[in-house]
Homo-oligomer: A and B are copies of this chain.
Amino acid sequence: MIRNIILKDNERLDDLEIKSFKLFQNKDMFCYGVDAVLLSDFTKAKADENVLDLCTGNGVIPILMHAKDKGNKFLGIDIIPENIELANKSLKYNDIENISFICEDIKKLKSIVKSGEYNLITCNPPYMVDKSGYKNKNVDKLVARHEIKIKLDEIFDISAGALQTKGRLYMIHRPNRIPDIMYLARKYRLEPKRMVMVHSMVNKEPSMVLIEFVKDAKADLKVEKPLIIYKEDGEYTEELLKIYNK
């Protein structure tokens, strides 16, 4: 199929390498990385489950999950209008009907979604609390990386409200935030049930952590074996190649 593709300045169309799905990105804005790929792989979603994606950016997580035949309907939300514009272009290009995107402040979500409406939530939030290096970045990258527009406490609060009992939240974050994450999860009764540490190499400290939370579940965390990105020779591990569908 040949499509008319209109790319604005600095926009590009990237191949997601799953079936023929593609994603519009703007190279001056926050582009998806291995984090989004790992989170969409880590997230378990049955064919009849509805998914809310917080901090959706250009919509990569719902689109990747849809491409992998996970979940039913998706709603992605982001505060940056240019992100939602890109996300909607990708929906149109890929002929996807079961994903919607809205440009809104997540903090207003309580007036948009019903309490307990969702089976599951995905979130690749801004990782950093500190405000170092603010001046040299554009607004989109700042909002994507630093807790400016949304704080972790608010993400847990909003997730707990939107999820039904036994509903699941899937998050990727930095290991240095684990104490904040665990404290807030318990505060909002989103119990951490499964955790995977992500290491660039087997003998290095972890650079990311994947966590599944279950609303109102009993306390008992299963820490799974670590996920290693690169082999000693610098090539992707077998596990990563599988996640990347290669």
Other-chain residue from B177, B185, B204, B225 in contact with A225 (beta carbon distance below 8 A)? B204
CA distance A197 to B226 in the complex (A): 10
Which of A12-20, A33-41, A107-115, A214-222 sits within the interface? Answer: A214-222
A53 at the interface (CB under 8 A from B): no
CA distance A129 to B219 in the complex (A): 10
Contact A202 B205 (CB under 8 A): no
Contact A225 B197 (CB under 8 A): no
Contact B182 A183 (CB under 8 A): yes
Contact A183 B186 (CB under 8 A): yes
A9 at the interface (CB under 8 A from B): no
Contact B226 A226 (CB under 8 A): yes
**A180-205 interface (Cβ within 8 A of B):** 180-183, 185-186, 191-192, 195, 197, 199, 202-205
Other-chain residue from B176, B202, B223, B224 in contact with A178 (beta carbon distance below 8 A)? B223
Q: How large is the interface on A (under 10, 10 to 19, 20 to 34, 35 or more residues)?
A: 20 to 34
Give chain B residues whose Cβ lies under 8 Å from the Cβ of A209.
223
Contact B225 A178 (CB under 8 A): no
CA distance A225 to B200 in the complex (A): 11
Contact A197 B223 (CB under 8 A): yes
Give chain B residues whose Cβ lies under 8 Å from the Cβ of A203.
225
Give chain B residues whose Cβ lies under 8 Å from the Cβ of A223.
175-176, 178, 197, 205-206, 209
Contact A221 B176 (CB under 8 A): yes
Contact B226 A175 (CB under 8 A): no
Query: Closest CB-CB distance, A181 to chain B, in whole Å?
Result: 8
Contact B186 A179 (CB under 8 A): yes
Give chain B residues whose Cβ lies under 8 Å from the Cβ of A186.
179, 183
Taking A179-B219, A199-B226, A205-B223 as known contacts, 19 extra A-B pairs with beta carbons closer than 8 A to each other, sorted by chain A number, are A175-B221, A176-B221, A176-B223, A177-B221, A178-B221, A178-B223, A179-B182, A179-B191, A179-B192, A182-B182, A182-B183, A183-B183, A197-B223, A199-B225, A203-B225, A205-B222, A205-B225, A206-B223, A209-B223
